Amino acid sequence: MQLVGIPLRIVLVLAVVSSVTAVALYSVVLDEWEDFKVEHGKVYTSDTEEAFRRKVWMDNKYFIAHHNQKYYNEESSFKLRMNHFGDMLHHEFVSTMNGYGGLRTSDDLRDSSLFIEPDDSVIMPDSVDWREKGAVTPVKNQGACGSCWAFSSTGALEGQHFRKTGELTSLSEQNLVDCSQHYGNHGCHGGWMDSAFKYVRDNHGIDTEESYPYEHVDRQCRFNNSTIGADDVGYMDIRRGSEDAVKKAIATVGPVSIAIDAAVRTFMHYHTGVYNDTDCNPHKLDHGVLAVGYGVTEDGVDYWLVKNSWGPHWGDNGYIKIARNQGNICGVASAASFPLV
């Protein structure tokens, strides 16, 4: 007996081989899933939840592989990687991790001063990396708490304090999460960097990380003025939408707090390269980060060097390079500011 000209025995052999191959591939995927759980300390409350999270992880795994094929074909300038967000749906990730309150109105900005940009005759360096100068603390992790605004704020203040004193002091995000509600911030439910700078100014200081460690949740305020790590006397906003102004501020002042759109799915899994996703909206800001420098790749692509607060397992050891001079990608220049010390 034959099937479409092929002997039945050959058809049966091919079917068995195909079945064995499929089982082997699924076994490999299951092994990868187990490795993922161990690497990131994942524990689930039931077999049903684990089955759901495994399905989400597999979908994210496919999404990453599909994008990376574009990267290898030189159709994308950045590469993705599985990370500790791999078992989260995209909307879960956005609602949990992105806590910037959005663009402020003109009334919200009435208490600020505008950064006075150096004249265009002043030549800015081609590249700046404040990590090399000792002004940036190690990458931190906000956990499952929308406190990105607090990490951006402490990062900018740590940089300014270093420039003034020569000492790099890690400052307390938990202090801001717990104590700055009267300035419009909402702890793990979002806030603004400028509001954090106002709190520090009026409070005459912020505690050190060591004295007031981060806890990933909202707590009662426990500020202690005997363990202050830094202070500010106000803050400056940088001209909205001007990448040139942000560049000048980073070059002459130090690390700058910025707000970006981090709700794009590729951002969730970014690994290396210059991030340039055109779906990233410069007017839809939802995440506070820290611009610590800028530069140009070997291929001549301009980028911003940005420190995130999702731990060193995300991105390029906790950092991302975002395309510069490409129409304000992700809104890097839409809401930038820094504290005055």
Catalytic residues: 148, 287, 308
Closest among 197, 196, 205 to 224, alpha carbons compared: 205
* Separation between Cα atoms, residue 47 and residue 69, nearest integer Å: 33
* Separation between Cα atoms, residue 334 and residue 325, nearest integer Å: 13
Joined together, the tokens standing for residue 63 give 């999404």
Q: Which residues contact 127 (CB under 8 A, 6 or more apart)?
A: 293, 294, 295, 296
Say if CB 294 and CB 127 are below 8 A apart. Answer: yes
Reported in sequence order, the residue ranges of the chain that DSSP labels E, i.e. its strands, are 2-3, 6-7, 78-80, 113-114, 128-129, 206-207, 228-230, 234-237, 256-260, 270-275, 287-296, 302-307, 319-323, 337-340
Question: If DSSP codes are grouped into helix, strand and coil, which group holds residue 37?
Answer: helix
- Residue environment code for 39-59, b if the CB has 16+ CB neighbours within 10 A, otherwise e: eeebeeeeeeebeebbeebee
Reported in sequence order, the residue ranges of 180-264 that DSSP labels E, i.e. its strands, are 206-207, 228-230, 234-237, 256-260
Q: Residue 263, class by beta-carbon neighbours within 10 Å (0-12 exposed, 13-18 middle, 19+ buried)?
A: buried
* Separation between Cα atoms, residue 277 and residue 297, nearest integer Å: 17
Question: If DSSP codes are grouped into helix, strand and coil, which group holds residue 173?
Answer: helix
Residue spans of alpha helices (H) in 166-228: 173-179, 193-203
